[in-house]
Amino acid sequence: MTVSGLAYGIDTLVAESTILAGGKTIAVLAGGLDSIYPASNTNLAKKIEKDAFLSCDKLSLIRVYGTKDDWDKLKIFIPSNPKIEFIPPIITDEKLNKIEMQLLKYARVITEQSSIIDEQSLVLDRHEEMLQELMYTPIAISNLSLSQSLVEIGGSVVGLRINWNANKPPITAYINGEEIGSSENNYIYPYEITQDKTFTLKVTDDRGSAERSVSIKFANGKYYGTAQEGTYDSDFILSLNKEIVTNGKGNITVNCDNGQYVYYAIPTRFDTPRFSVGGFVGGFVLVDTIAFTNIYGYTEDYEIWKSENSNLGLVTINVG
């Protein structure tokens, strides 16, 4: 058993050490049980009351870690008149000061080492940032396409699919400023389209972004084929082969039988066509210009060109 006060320093150390060792301790309070001082030792007082309770009338021996003068100053009445042994304090104030100084020294060493570790950690973090910088690849869009990019003028498109590929999964993705799912590489445009429209895809990673655009265009067709001479109107043009284009250039291949001519019809807004057959330029004449109405009811002026000769057989014509 130990007897001490409940002050900071030796008193606290003696009481806590005794409890940890499984012993009993008495704390003498100057202000009574209802006034624990210092207040920071309130929990320690509760431990003494709970774990070190002692019935004085059954004591036979008391070991006091201190001097007889210290014990006499306490003026504790013990009915059983036990034997009292006095043991010099294990830790004196002088020793405690030395311990505190040693602890302060260790604390300084630990602080210095901690500072070194912090500096090394900062260096490692910087090296990691530099490595990530060297390994970083900016996000890029490698492909962007539409399920339909050219539509006959006067018509409409519903459910247009926008497809794309990026060099890495994006964090966010936007179509014309509207955020879409970034986990997929396609998007169904939810609105009907009746005129030219451009779609701009923007994707982002943790450092930057990339953009790419693609457009859907509405155009009229070029019409070509073989027929006998007749009335030149919308029905005549619609009877020919159709190809939706934005200009009249390109090759056409037809099989022109007996009594048939090769016909070629394009919007008047296109450049004047230049025909070449087998390396020879020419061979076509402009036979009429009409107001042509396509299958969607869209009307536009068209030129109708006819080969000068009939019965050309299987022939490829270059239109420049």
For residue 45, give the H/E element and its range: helix 42-51
pLDDT per residue over 50-96, tens digit each?
654 433 344 455 556 566 776 666 555 555 566 776 666 555 556 55
CA 320 to chain centre: 50
Higher pLDDT, 57 or 181: 181
Which of 17-26, 39-48, 89-98, 272-281 is predicted least confidently?
Answer: 89-98
Q: What are phi and psi of 57, to 5 degrees?
A: -75, -5
pLDDT band per the 50, 70, 90 thresholds, residue 104: low
Residue pair 167/187 in contact (Cβ under 8 Å)? The answer is no
> What is the predicted pLDDT for the residue at 308?
95
> What rounded mean pLDDT belongs to the chain?
84
Q: What is the C-alpha separation between 310 and 261, in angstroms, rounded?
A: 5
3-state DSSP assignment of residue 68: helix
Residue pair 82/59 in contact (Cβ under 8 Å)? The answer is yes
Candidates 63, 65, 67, 66; CA nearest to 83 is: 63
| Reduced 3-state DSSP string for 97-132 | HHHHHHHHHHHHHHHHHHHHHHHHHHHHHHHHHHHH
Residue pair 183/169 in contact (Cβ under 8 Å)? The answer is yes
> In terms of DSSP bridges, do strands 25-27 and 280-281 run parallel, antiparallel, or are they unpaired?
unpaired
Separation in Å, CA 42 to CA 23, 29, 34, 50: 19, 12, 11, 12
Q: What is the C-alpha separation between 118 and 251, in angstroms, rounded?
A: 73
Q: What is the C-alpha separation between 78 and 75, in angstroms, rounded?
A: 10
CA 65 to chain centre: 67
Question: Going from the N-terminus, what domains does the chain have, and what CATH number goes with each?
Answer: 2-91 (no CATH), 142-218 (2.60.40), 221-319 (no CATH)
pLDDT at 237 over 50: yes
Residue pair 227/240 in contact (Cβ under 8 Å)? The answer is yes
For residue 221, give the H/E element and its range: strand 221-227
Burial of 53 (0-12, 13-18, 19+ CB in 10 A): exposed
Cis, peptide link before residue 190, omega less than 30° from 0: no
> What is the predicted pLDDT for the residue at 88?
66
Can you state the angle between helices 42-51 and 10-20, rounded to 10 degrees? 40
For the whole model, what pTM was predicted?
Answer: 0.57
Q: What is the DSSP letter of 272?
A: P
Task: Summarize the confidence of residues 101-107 as an average pLDDT.
Answer: 65
CA 37 to chain centre: 56
